[in-house]
Amino acid sequence: MVNIRVAVLLTVIAGFFFSGCGYRFAGGGDLPSSVKKVSISVLENKTAESGIENIITNDLIYEFTRNGKAVEKKDDADAHLTGTIESVSDDAISHSGDQSSTERRVNVVLNLKLTDKNGKIIWTAKGIASDEAFSVLSDKMATENKKRSAIMVLSKRLAEKVYNRLTDNF
């Protein structure tokens, strides 16, 4: 009976201790400048990677919609998110001899800007980057498919990173 009381008391004390630690999830705050809804334009693609602008833009729209912060029409939004895909590069990360790689890493870099209805810049971020590894196969087309899959994975990560940076009460 005494052990149960001690266990309950320790649980209650631990609950008070951890409830005041100030922990919170990243990106759990509000958008800057009391923005409630954001419209998102298709990103400008400054790279040779065709179609990547649609992949990343769709993931950004999904991330903001999932969190209840996106609207379709620019007129219905408090702010507008625009940006560019500055670079897409891939580098070898493992080799199976002097000339052939077995694994590569694709890296994507974005520059973004959030403006209010009057065109005033509310938030800007340069060099938001993410990377993802993919395997190199003997078939060039299969390797390109692996690279495209890696881009899709890192695109979701980039969208989460952008949303978290925008809603982080810094």
H or E segment at 95?
A: strand 79-95
Q: Is 13 a residue whose pLDDT tops 50? A: yes
Q: Does domain 30-167 have CATH number 3.40.630.10?
A: no
What gap in Å lies between CA 131 and CA 151, rounded to an integer? 8
Quote the pLDDT of residue 50.
95
Measured CA to CA, the distance from residue 60 to residue 65 in angstroms comes to 8
Task: For 63, list phi and psi in degrees, rounded to 5.
Answer: -65, -45
The domain locations on the chain are 30-167
Q: What is the mean pLDDT of residues 6-35?
A: 59
Question: Which pTM does this prediction carry?
Answer: 0.80
Mean pLDDT of the chain: 86
Residue 14 has pLDDT above 60, yes or no: no
> Is the predicted pLDDT of residue 44 greater than 60, yes or no?
yes
In degrees and rounded to multiples of 5, residue 106 shows phi and psi of -95, 140
Percentage of residues of the chain with pLDDT beyond 90 = 65
143 Cβ partners below 8 Å, 6+ apart? 134, 135, 136, 137
Q: Is the pLDDT of residue 25 over 60?
A: no
Residues 143-162 pLDDT 10s: 999 999 999 999 999 999 99
Please tell me the predicted confidence (pLDDT) of residue 28: 56
Residues 68-123: pLDDT tens digits? 888 888 888 999 999 999 999 999 999 887 778 899 999 999 999 999 999 999 99
pLDDT-wise least confident of 44-53, 89-98, 128-137: 89-98
Q: Answer yes or no: are the C-beta atoms of 96 and 102 closer than 8 Å.
A: yes
